[in-house]
Structure 1
Amino acid sequence: MKLPISTIILTYNEEKHIERCIRSAQQFSEAIFLVDSFSTDQTLAIAKSLGAEVYQNKWENNHAKQFNWGLENLPISTEWVFRLDADEYLTDELIAEIGQKLPVLARGISGVVFERKMVFLDKLITKGMLQMNMLRLFRYGQGFCEDRWMDEHIVLTQGKSIHFNDYFVDHNLNPLDWWIQKHNNYAIREAIDLLNLEYQLVVPKTAQAKQYELSTDALSKRKKKEKYAHMPLFWRSFIYFVYRYFFKLGFTQGKEGFLWHFLQGWWYRTLVDAKVYEVKKACGEDKEKIRQFIAENYQIKL
């Protein structure tokens, strides 16, 4: 089932995931493009052997910028574009749903929102999660990725979005140590995002995004983050873990469920708060000092 969809996959050393990802995309895509950040493993060889078109662009530590480069430079000729990460794939049910519904969508629908579910230590996490809905499919020329430190979303420049029922899966095959290092690196970016909500440190990078509305799901997520940002440091990560693990029944999924909710819901968010606390302790509420501290200690220029 080939639909008028070009799937864009951002890659850097994804040899563990890329075949699974491409084979999933081949089930619904007319064209598959890799925007690669000069991988040094077998990612490109595997992708080319499967028929994907490979383009390379220098990585500038910014997913939105890399994806938007692809929108501007790839030879896309399809009506629709799908954004898919290398460690993600679609369920058979979602592929079937796209095949049934996409050809008959009204012209006023420019984007499609799907739920993303996580697999952690080879177990699908179905309990304790707040639903993660993401706009990943949109009409070419009618959307772009907003440029943010964290939590970037596809923004539609016209039309409305619709929500499909089935889900896609984020299933990373790297070991736990990789996951911990990744989230340690994410923590300062998340800390900057929370500090920015409090002190308005960052001028929005994509001024164009101000002209357009985010999807309802993205706006809901932003409002929840703003509410979280105003809760007390450290207590908020503990309360979040308790809510997910006990009230949302995360404890029913065994050791994998405990480790997921502890590490992602408590440890990671406590680490973020520790970095927020570190910055505030060193700089107080002086915006310029905060910017300098982050630049000097984390090599991130705001």
Structure 2
Amino acid sequence: MLDLTVVILTKDEELHIKRCLDNINDIAKEIFIIDSFSTDKTLEIASKYSKVKILQNKWVNNYAYQFNWGLDNAPITGKWILRLDADEYLLPELIAELTRKLPEMSDDVSGCVINRRHIFMDKWMKGGIYPVKLLRIFRNGKGRCEQRLMDEHIQLSEGKTVDLENDFCDHNLNNLSWFCHKHVNYAVREAADLLDIELGITGAAETDNNKEISEQAISKRKKKHSYARKPLFWRSTAYFLYRYFLKGGWRDGKEGFIFTFIQGWWYRTLVDAKIFEIKRKCGDDTEKIKTVLQEEYGIRL
């Protein structure tokens, strides 16, 4: 067992939570579930694990807020903290690597970056975007989730990071309708984030280069800043072509086409359509945009 606390956010995750808890139960010192008042069997399943402690807090449409609430309110005693979603799990190779390396990690290391692989329709998406490198493990008291609407990362207060060699999996078992609906919900938040970057609505985007997040996260953030200033609709098409042909999404067969089409073109075009809709009403008037986002979508910038 490692000196490791796992923090998992849940809302109606009965389809995934047992797989997730079985995966980390033997290596974790303690597991905290921060639940947004699930109405299915999530908590019934989770309560059967002796290491699991459940806290509940109302969801306010903000992952970073909920995760940081968990850090502030859960009685965490682990030396290290792992941020994990209910539909994610660690591969055996990563568990072995953590067991070997984490107890001997030097004091100047405050975070560990690990590779995420997407499993879509039960197939590993090797082309397109793999590997996504994320800072998911950090020392207790040395990290928090940065406050933003989308693509939030763990930000360290001090110390350096190391890259681990092995992977964890994002493997959601819901059907395509659920997958598309999730992206519909994401679209307006992504639109608000891109508008913020483009128009400097909150000024938060100016601080992105000064954050202690992973190198890939910094690179991705710079690309997003560039993307935000490219023409609507043209950019979503270019992004799909880049991921599918240049990055090799086509190598993953029919599943790879569906995954890249939905994530890389349909979703990105929907985001642009939301921006187009908002700008038709507001132009570049940032105060009007903030009002529309809050009154029509419940998003506060």
TM-score by length of 2: 0.95
Q: Hey, what's the Cα distance between the residues in 2 that align with 1:234 and 1:261?
A: 16
Deviates more, 1:66-75 or 1:135-144: 66-75
Partner SS, residue 93 of structure 1: helix
Partner of 1:266: 265
Aligned-residue offset at 1:260: 0.3
Aligned length: 299
The DSSP-based 3-state class of the residue aligned with 2:55 is strand
Matched, 1:43 2:42: yes
Are 2:226 and 1:250 aligned?
no
Q: How much does 1:232 deviate?
A: 1.4
Deviation at 1:291, TM superposition (A): 1.5
> For residues 9 and 247 of structure 1, what CA distance do their matches in structure 2 show?
35
Q: Tell me how far 1:299 sits from its aligned partner.
A: 2.6
Aligned-partner residue type, residue 126 of structure 1 = K
CA contact (8 A) 1:11 1:34 kept: yes
1:60 aligns with 2:90: no
Q: Tell me the equivalent position of 2:72.
A: 72
Instruction: Please give the alpha-carbon distance, in whole angstroms, between the structure 2 residues aligned to 1:63 and 1:82.
Output: 15
The 5-angstrom pairing of residues 137-152 of structure 1 reads 137-152=137-152
Runs of 4+ in 1 over 6 A off after TM superposition: none
- Kindly provide the amino acid, as one letter, of the partner of residue 194 in structure 2: L
Return closer, same or farther for 1:9/1:246 CA change in 2, 3 Å cut-off. same
Q: What's the counterpart of residue 280 of structure 2?
A: 281
Identity %: 52
> Which residue is 1:153 aligned to?
153
Per the alignment, residue 115 of structure 1 pairs with: 115
Structure 1: gaps of 5 or more residues = none
CA contact (8 A) 1:147 1:204 kept: no
Q: Hey, what's the Cα distance between the residues in 2 that align with 1:3 and 1:131?
A: 26
Give how far 1:131 is off: 3.1
Q: TM-score, normalised by structure 1?
A: 0.95
Partner of 1:297 in structure 2?
Answer: 296
Within 5 A, what are the aligned runs for 1:1-302? 2-51=1-50, 52-202=52-202, 204=204, 213-302=212-301
Q: Distance in 2 between matches of 1:243 and 1:176?
A: 23
Q: Distance in 1 between matches of 2:215 and 2:253?
A: 33
For 2:187 and 2:211, locate their aligned partners in 1 and report how far apart those are by CA, in whole Å.
28
Give the C-alpha shift of residue 258 in structure 1. 0.5
